[in-house]
Amino acid sequence: MSDPRPIGVFDSGVGGLTVLRELQRQLPHESTIYFADLGHFPYGPRYQAQVRTFALNIIRFLEKLDVKLVVIACNTATAAALNTARELFDIPIIGVITPGAEAAVAATKNKRVGVISTEGTMQSQEYLHAIREANPTIGVLPKAAPQLVDLVEAGKSDAPETETVLREALRDIIDYHADTLILGCTHYPLLTPVIKKITGDTMTIVDSADTTAARVKRVLAKNGLESAEAQTANHQIYVTGSPDRFTDVARILFGQDLPPITTVRLELVEAISGREGAA
């Protein structure tokens, strides 16, 4: 038996496309629906309860589109909503924090790991908890760099101002002599060339896109949810808010034509959810 239903993936903007791209590379026969919540972008500075509401509403919207699994392709939303979502929904839901943390634990040689993320992800301490659960002897130094999300969304990944922000964010982590760096935001893989310019060969960079896609592959297989290899994959994108800037940056990221983009009103997403997640 095969399951041709799509995989749902969501984020506040273009960042989650790094996860989507890896999913499509590792699982070429799987259809996907990507949801970018541009109307509420960015998630990082918001209260966790607010982000949780947004995330649960989106998952309900994706559920109405008959997805078979949901990937929360956003560290802030994973920290705020993953546990609650798993309690509320009957489909598998995968976040990006645990796969990234486990990859960092496997990579570090000196047991010192740095994490750069949004403010919301840092305050949640979810990376610290996930790393310590895997290996309690590992030291973790988190740093928030909230400006980076806006810079990536503006298409300024390699701009001088971005390098300045990165150097400031990484200074303490470099002084800490961390040998492994977790990119704790799905926007940050787009900054890898600049990060490598700053850190040289001193750090292993962990991007959770690869490990998250690998986990999705395992969960699909374990639950009998894989599509047939003969299936032609179909991909769709839904956005709230204006798709113009999203489209420009997304094209650069994908390096190819994008799937069809459908704009959805925030009111529709809330109506479909029944606003049950607003509590």
* Catalytic residue of the set 17, 74, 97, 122: 74
Pairing between β-strand 32-37 and β-strand 69-72 as defined by DSSP bridges: unpaired
For residue 173, the Cα-to-chain-centroid distance in whole angstroms is 22
Q: Is 109 a catalytic residue?
A: no
* Catalytic residue of the set 19, 93, 185, 209: 185
- Of the candidates 188, 190, 242, 186, the one whose C-alpha atom is nearest the C-alpha of residue 38 is 242
In the numeric block, the tokens 């997805």 are attached to 67
Burial class (CB in 10 A: 0-12, 13-18, 19+), 141: middle
Concatenated DSSP letters of 9-71 = EEESSSTTHHHHHHHHHH-TT--EEEEEEGGG---TTS-HHHHHHHHHHHHHHHHHTT-SEEE
Total count of residues recorded for the chain: 279
Q: Is 74 a catalytic residue?
A: yes
Q: Is the peptide bond before 142 cis (omega within 30 degrees of 0)?
A: no
Q: Which are the catalytic amino acids? A: 74, 185
